[in-house]
Structures are given as C-alpha cells and as structure tokens.
Amino acid sequence: MDIWELVEYVGETLVFIGVVGEVFAEWTEPERKKLGKASSIVLVIGLALSLAALIGTNEYFNGTIANLNFQAGQSNQHASAAQLDAANARKETAQLQKDTQGLKTDADIAKRDMVKAQLELARLTGPIQSVPVSNGIATPDPMKGLRLRILLHNDVLIKFPTLPKGKSVNWTLFIVQDEKGNRQFGTVPKFMPGGDAKSPFGNFLYFSPHSVCTMELVTDEYGTSDLTTMGASCPNNAIDTISK
C-alpha cells in the first residue's frame, strides 16, 4: 500500500470521527461544548490529512504517468531503431546478393576467358595445320593456326584472307610439293609474279619432291603481305624438306 493511501485513510477516518463528534455535540448542547471543539479540531486535522494525501497522490500519479510516458518513448525509439536495423539488414542482404551475383558473373567471364586463352595458346603453339585444296583452290585461315601447310598435288591457286579492321596477325605458310614435284601455284591477292586472276599459276617449285616453299606473311584488313627476306618467298636453292 502506498504511504499516501494510508494518510488518506487516516484523514478520512478523522474527518468521519470529527463529524460524528460535532453532530453528537449539537444534539447535547450546551453540555457538550468541549466535545464539539475537540471534534472540530479532529475534523480539521482529518481534512488537512486528506488534502495532503490528495496532493501527494496526484504527484505520485503524475510522476508514474510521466515515467510510463518516458518508457513508452524509449520503447518507440527502440522499435524505430529495430526497424532501421532491419531495413539496413535487408539492404546489406540485397547488396550481398548483388555482389555474389557479380562474383559469379566475373567467375563465368574468367572461365570463358581462360578457355579462350587456352584455345589461342593451342592456335599459336600447336602443330602445323593442313589446308585442304578444293577444285584447285586453297584458302588458308591464320585464325585457325599460325603455321599452315598446303600440299601441292596439282597446280593450286591460293586465296589469302583479310581480317576485321584494326586486327592483324603474322603467320607462316608452308607450300609443299607432292612426290612428283615441280608444281605451280599463284596467289590472290597478288604479291608474287604471276599471282593474279588472269594468270593464277605463275610460281613454280623447281625442286625435288616434297621440297618446301616457306612464306612469312602478315594479314590485316587490307589484305596479305609477304614478309619473307628480300621478298623471295621461294629461294632459288632447295630448302628443308618434309618427308612424305
């Protein structure tokens, strides 16, 4: 029980006693004057105690209400902070998912680039690739290998490719005679005597069977150029041979 409640009960009791005393004194006047005075004093004391209890109780309840309001405010702040933390957590989760997806994409790109690099390495360092001859025409492609080989079973027209603008590549072409030897070839675009559409076969290999004519070439968007020393793609003397 709160102290002010006890004071209020005491005050109300004294008020009740004082009122009863005054009523009893009024009924027995003038014999009970002292009783009436005493009852009035008790009544005043009881009223004073009741008033004090009322003031104290009001202050107590006001303080309690203020404290509850403060606690409610603190609870609201905590709830707001919790909501903000939850929003930040959702944002961080979304960013983490985005970063994870980005890492996965980077990993896929890295894997694709690695495969591409492996293929490019195989193209650069791989064995000599054979170029098929179809209807007397051979079309070497330096993007399939930097060392290409054409075997001359008959007279052959060699058609050189061009690359996309801004791209160029150095490559080597080995022209090999078959077991009969003395085959003739021409090139398009023309960069050797006789290598044009009107006279497609203007270059002979006057060497033994399986002798080789080596061309060091560069290809870009403008066509193919011969980089062989002194422009002589086929030396006048026999060079290294490739066995059958």
pLDDT at 9: 67
Q: How far apart are CA 218 and CA 227, in angstroms?
A: 7
Give the pTM.
0.46
Those residues of the chain that have pLDDT short of 50 are: 235-244
pLDDT at 83: 86
DSSP for 94-118, written as a single string: HHHHHHHHHHHHHHHHHHHHHHHHH
pLDDT at 23: 63
Length of the chain measured in residues: 244
Q: How far apart are CA 242 and CA 187, in angstroms?
A: 22
CB 211 within 8 A of CB 239: yes
Where is 220: in which H helix or E strand? strand 212-220
pLDDT at 20: 67
pLDDT at 241: 38
Q: How far apart are CA 55 and CA 46, in angstroms?
A: 14
